[in-house]
Amino acid sequence: MPPVVVLAAMIWGVLLLAACVGVAIRAGTQSERLLAFDAVTLVLVVLLALLAAKAGRGYYLDAALALALLSFISTIAIARYIRERKVM
């Protein structure tokens, strides 16, 4: 992938990250906040993948995969907590 395309995608990703953090701060309900933080982690996974493509290092992809798995598990746990209002 050309370096200009990776740089443009990284800049776009940082702008999206700032927008998602803004939405998370202004969110009114817990469900909206959960979705906003899920979007933040999705953008962070994409940024880590782009960083791996730019730097040519595989451990950034490992970090992206770990973050995606933790995000999935935490989203399920928090959604279940919001629904049932109790901790397992």
What secondary structure, in 3-state letters, does the chain show?
Answer: CCHHHHHHHHHHHHHHHHHHHHHHHHCCCHHHHHHHHHHHHHHHHHHHHHHHHHHCCCHHHHHHHHHHHHHHHHHHHHHHHHHHCCCC
Instruction: Summarize pLDDT for 48-72 with one digit per residue, the tens.
Output: 999 998 888 889 999 999 999 999 9
What pLDDT does 84 receive? 86
Instruction: Summarize pLDDT for 6-53 with one digit per residue, the tens.
Output: 899 999 999 999 999 999 999 888 889 999 999 999 999 999 999 998
Task: Give the global pTM.
Answer: 0.85
Domain of residue 19, residue span: 3-84
What pLDDT does 8 receive? 93
What domain count does the chain have?
A: 1
The larger pLDDT score, comparing residue 84 to residue 88, is at: 84
